[in-house]
Structure 1
């Protein structure tokens, strides 16, 4: 679910203090995007939302979630937003977030 090698690599690249800031910013931005997507779904910006989530989550090692976002982005781009399992995507993020924070990597 989490690519811990990527997490370590990022922490080494930016340093421990900046890594904490990166994690806080990532979680804040992704939490806001997820909440907006849940409360006011808008298929007209779904492709862009999933693209943002895909890139952000991949940078922080949320590999499984990023893969779901990639697949959803592709489906949305092809006009098939109706086949995207949004509940599964949201659950994947929740599980990834929980696993990530349980390791106390910051």
Structure 2
């Protein structure tokens, strides 16, 4: 679900002291993108845009399962099918990933 090697790489790139700010920004931006995807009501153009953003953000912070789901939805939306991946499914995977990330992060950073 979480690519911890990517998280470690990101911490090394930006430093542990700034990592918390990056995580806060990520969580805020992802919440906004999911809300926009939910509001799109099946519009494939908006769905593709939001899923593309979510995929990139998820990959950046190591949310691998979310990134794969968004890629699937993005490709489908690009083909005019905004119904392949639902906003509820994206939100559920995001929240599960977020919860696992937040629970495991302190131990990972201490190692």
Do Structure 1 and Structure 2 share a fold, with TM-score over 0.5? yes
Q: Structure 2: where are the runs of 5+ without partners?
A: none
- Asked which structure has the greater RCO (Cα within 8 Å, sep 6+), the reply is 1
User: Separation in 1 of the partners of 2:84 and 2:29?
Assistant: 25
Q: CA offset at residue 87 of structure 1? A: 2.0
* 1:37-56 paired onto structure 2 within 5 Å: 37-38=37-38, 40-42=39-41, 43=43, 44-56=45-57
Q: CA RMSD in A?
A: 1.5
**Pair 1:73 & 2:84 matched:** no
Q: CA offset at residue 46 of structure 1? A: 0.9
Count the aligned residue pairs.
Answer: 105
Give CA deviations for 1:11-61 in whole Å, capped at 9, x if unaligned: 0111011211111110011012212333x2241311010000000110100
Q: CA offset at residue 80 of structure 1? A: 1.1
Give CA deviations for 1:49-83 in whole Å, capped at 9, x if unaligned: 00000001101000000000001000000111122
Q: Structure 1: where are the runs of 5+ without partners?
A: none
Q: CA offset at residue 88 of structure 1? A: 1.8
TM-score, normalised by the number of residues in structure 1: 0.90
User: Separation in 1 of the partners of 2:14 and 2:65?
Assistant: 23
User: Separation in 1 of the partners of 2:84 and 2:14?
Assistant: 38
| Residue in 1 that maps onto 2:35 | 35
